[in-house]
Chain A
Amino acid sequence: MGHPATAPGSGTRLRVVACGSVDDGKSTLIGRLLFECDSVSSDQLAALTRDSRRYGTTGDEPDFALLLDGLEAEREQGITIDVAYRYFSTARRRFVVADVPGHEEYTRNMETGASNSEAAVLLADARKGILTQTRRHAHILSLLGIRHIVLAVNKMDLMDYSAERFARIAEECDRLAAKLSFASVVPIPVCARNGDNVTTRSPRMPWYDGPVLLQHLESLDIDGGSETKPMRFTVQWINRTNAEFRGYAGSVVSGILTEGQEIVVTASGVRARVNRIVTGDGDLKQAVAGQAVTLVLSDEIGISRGDILTLPEWRCETADQFAAHVVWLTHEVMLPHREYLIKFNSRVVPGRITALRHRLDPDSLEQVAARALEMNEIGYCHISTREPVSFDPYRENRETGGFIIIDRQSNATAGAGMIDFALRRAANVHWHELDVNAGARAGLNGQKPCLLWFTGFSGAGKSTIANLVERRLFAEGRRSYLLDGDNIRHGLNRDLGFTAADRVENIRRVTEVARLFVDAGLITLVAFISPFSAEREAARESFRPEEFHEIYVDTPLEICRARDPKGLYARAASGRLKNFTGFDSPYEPPLKPELVLRTAEASAEELASHVIGYLRTKGLIP
Chain B
Amino acid sequence: MPEVLPHLQRLEGEAICILREVAAEFRNPVILYSIGKDSSVLLHLAMKAFHPAKPPFPLLHVDTTWKFREMIAFRDATAKSLGVKLLVHTNRDGIERGINPFDYNPDLHTQVMKTEALRQALDMHGFDAAIGGARRDEEKSRAKERVFSLRSSNHGWDPKNQRPELWGIYNTRIAPGESMRVFPLSNWTELDVWEYVQAQAIPVVSLYFAKRRPVVRRAGSWIMVDDERMRLNPGEEPEQRLVRFRTLGCYPLTGAIDSTATTVAEIVHELGSSASSERAGRVIDHDQASSMEKKKREGYF
Contacts and interface: CB of A to CB of B under 8 A. Distances in A.
Interface string A73-103: 1010000011111110000001010000000
Interface in B2-26: 2, 5-7, 9-10, 12-14, 16-17, 20-21, 23-24
Nearest to A69: B140
Nearest to A84: B143
B169 A237 contact: no
A528 B173 CA distance: 30
Contacts of B271: 1, 4
A51 interface: yes
Interface in B162-196: 162-169, 171, 173-175, 186-187, 189, 191
Nearest to B269: A4
A398 B167 contact: yes
Interface stretch (A274-282, A553-561, A600-608): A274-282
B21 to A, nearest CB: 7
Nearest to A234: B17
Interface string B258-286: 00000000001101101111001000001
Contacts of A75: 289-290
A12 B159 contact: no
Interface string A256-285: 000000000000000000000011111010
Given A4-B272, A12-B10, A75-B290, A403 B1 contact: no
A70 B140 contact: yes
Contact of A84 (B10, B17, B144): B144
B280 A72 contact: no
B13 A292 contact: yes
Contacts of A416: 164, 166
Contacts of A184: none
A43 B276 CA distance: 6
Interface residues on chain B, size class: 35 or more
Contacts of A472: none
A239 B290 contact: no
A237 B174 contact: no
Contacts of A71: 141, 144, 159-160, 290, 293
B52 A82 contact: no
B164 A403 contact: no
B166 A44 contact: no
Nearest to B11: A13
Interface in B118-149: 136-137, 139-144, 146
B140 to A, nearest CB: 3
A3 interface: yes
Given A70-B140, A81-B160, A281-B2, A290 B171 contact: no
Nearest to A412: B163
Given A12-B7, A416-B164, 14 more contacts: A4-B269, A11-B5, A12-B10, A41-B280, A43-B280, A71-B160, A84-B140, A87-B137, A109-B164, A112-B165, A115-B167, A245-B53, A249-B49, A294-B51
> Which 3 pairs between the two chains have the least Cβ-Cβ distance?
A280-B48, A70-B140, A292-B16
20 contacts: A1-B271, A12-B7, A13-B10, A70-B141, A70-B144, A71-B141, A71-B160, A73-B159, A82-B160, A94-B7, A111-B164, A236-B21, A236-B24, A249-B20, A250-B20, A292-B17, A402-B167, A404-B171, A406-B173, A416-B164
